[in-house]
Amino acid sequence: GLIALTLEDSARSEIVPRVIEDQAHYALVAGAPHREIVEAPGSRHADDPVRGAQLAHARLCRIIRNAEAAGVDRRPSARLAELTHVGERHLLVALADLPQRLERHVGDEAQQRRAVTDLAALADAWDHPVRPLAAGVHPAPIHGARLLLADAVRIVLRNGLTRLGAAAPERM
């Protein structure tokens, strides 16, 4: 039979600082640092699943820029254990699982592509605010935690796209 394990939210959220600290290598081929890849705008067809991952990356970059402009802080002491919404939990598990999925399918480009696009789909479905929705409202600690989560997902998408040989644009 199968054994079902459930992590506490605080344990699950420990992946965020690990990703941020090791952003130059997390989810990349062992020993290979992150490298910038440049693609001509519009070089991928609209039905290419990698384009969806690129759009998700660009969206996360926009969310991060807007949150920082609204005064949300990136504090390592952010209350990451408060990332308890189902969508946030799914993202945290996917962040932790992606490197193993990619390693398990080395040489299988379709499965590698699927692993990255699955994470992008989760990121696109995540709709919790990273900044206050009303102007003049001071950001709450959960906004800082969500900003760190968004940054960790952005890093992993960037590295996953790099692994696929695709650009990770900040704007599209």
Q: Closest Cα partner for 80 from 158, 149, 18? A: 149
- The token duo for 156 is 């992993």
pLDDT at 136: 77
- pTM beyond 0.75: the answer is yes
pLDDT of the chain, 172 residues: tens digit per residue: 667 666 677 778 889 999 999 988 888 887 666 667 777 777 777 888 889 999 999 999 999 999 998 888 887 667 888 898 999 999 999 999 999 888 898 889 899 899 999 999 999 888 887 876 777 788 888 889 999 999 999 999 999 999 888 899 998 8
- The token duo for 118 is 């699955």
Q: How far is CA 69 from CA 13, 135, 145, 169, 170, in A?
A: 25, 12, 16, 20, 16
DSSP string for 47-76 = T-HHHHHHHHHHHHHHHHHHHHHTT----T
- The residues near 121 (Cβ < 8 Å, ≥ 6 apart) are 52, 56
